[in-house]
Amino acid sequence: MAQIIAIANQKGGVGKTTTAVNLAASLAVLKKRVLLVDMDSQGNATMGSGVQKNDLLYSITDVLLGEVPVETAITKSEVGYKVIGSNRELSGVELAIADQQGREFILKKALDSVRDSFDYIIIDCAPSLSLITVNALAAVDGVMIPMQCEYYALEGLADLTQTIDRIQQALNPDLQIIGVLRTMYDARNALTRDVSAELEQFFGKKLYDTVIPRNVRLAEAPAHGLPIIYFEKSSKGAVAYLNLAAEMLKKSKVKKGSHA
């Protein structure tokens, strides 16, 4: 049964989508069956996976509105994993489902029927705490938080952990932070190192050892509709995301072992 993971942080531009796309691709390279769900009306994860957001027959919008079964909205990509795409139509969904009973659990229910077909379902969230993001956080086993090592990242930390606590209490008792990922990392920068040390203190083992360096190839790849591993596989960014996938798999193995 798939582990369902949201990539979330209310702060914009911290590398959520880059992480969602490249983690999905890296897990697929490691022979895992992966579904990437784009829950952002910007549709960046969709485009970054080489799927045209404006040509979608069905998107996550149709799933949330209950118009098609989730299986119908799954598209193949050329990059090793499957995608439920998104586009600007998603921005109208919030209003449409606002008065619906069980509105926070629509995605959770929908994903239930495909959970057995994948090893990982990765959900890319928008930088907000809309009902759409709440649907994502209610559906997952864990949330991965990408963070840029800058001063404002620390400022947003309390908000973010409070949000996660609130959702855990109200909607999803299983919700946990599975890991915190340092993105756009520049080891030469003293502030990066300071913030990084604070994150270590705050999150302890939840902070991934793997850091994602600032790498221009990571920023270029989406324009070609390709995860970095298919764009330039020897780049630092590609190696880093493969390492992240490997670290994640290793940690989940250790965890499973400890429960056995």
Binder among 26, 44, 75, 196 for ligand ATP (CB under 6 A)? 44
Minimum CB separation of residue 18 from ligand ATP in Å reads: 3
Among 17, 26, 75, 130, binds ligand ATP (CB under 6 A): 17
| Least Å from the CB of residue 228 to ligand ATP | 9
**Structure tokens, 84:** 């439920």
- Concatenating the DSSP letter of every residue in 218-234 gives HHHGGGGT--HHHH-TT
DSSP reduced 3-state for 78: coil
Least CB distance from residue 249 to ligand ATP, whole Å? 21
Structure tokens at 60: 């996550």
- Please report the sign of the dihedral spanned by the C-alpha atoms of residue 46, residue 52, residue 54, residue 59: negative
Which segment (12-20, 69-77, 131-139, 246-254) binds Mg ion by CB under 5 A?
Answer: 12-20
148-174 burial: b if 16+ Cβ within 10 Å, else e: bbeeebeeebeebeebbeebbeebbee
102 interface partner picked from Mg ion, ligand ATP, none, CB below 5 to 8 A per type: none
CA distances from residue 169 to 137, 164, 180 in whole angstroms, order as listed: 12, 9, 21
Among 16, 53, 82, 182, binds Mg ion (CB under 5 A): 16
> Does residue 41 bind ligand ATP (CB under 6 A)?
no
Tell me the C-alpha distance between 140 and 240, whole Å. Answer: 24
Q: Which of residues 169-208 bind ligand ATP (CB under 6 A)?
A: 183-184
**Distance from C-alpha of 131 to C-alpha of 95, rounded to nearest angstrom:** 9
Per CB under 5 A, contacts with Mg ion among 18-57 are 44
Stretch that binds ligand ATP, among 6-14, 55-63, 150-158, 247-255 (CB under 6 A): 6-14
- Name the site residues for Mg ion (rule: CB under 5 A): 16-17, 44
Q: Which residues bind ligand ATP (CB under 6 A)?
A: 12-18, 40, 44, 126-127, 183-184, 212, 214-215, 218-219, 237
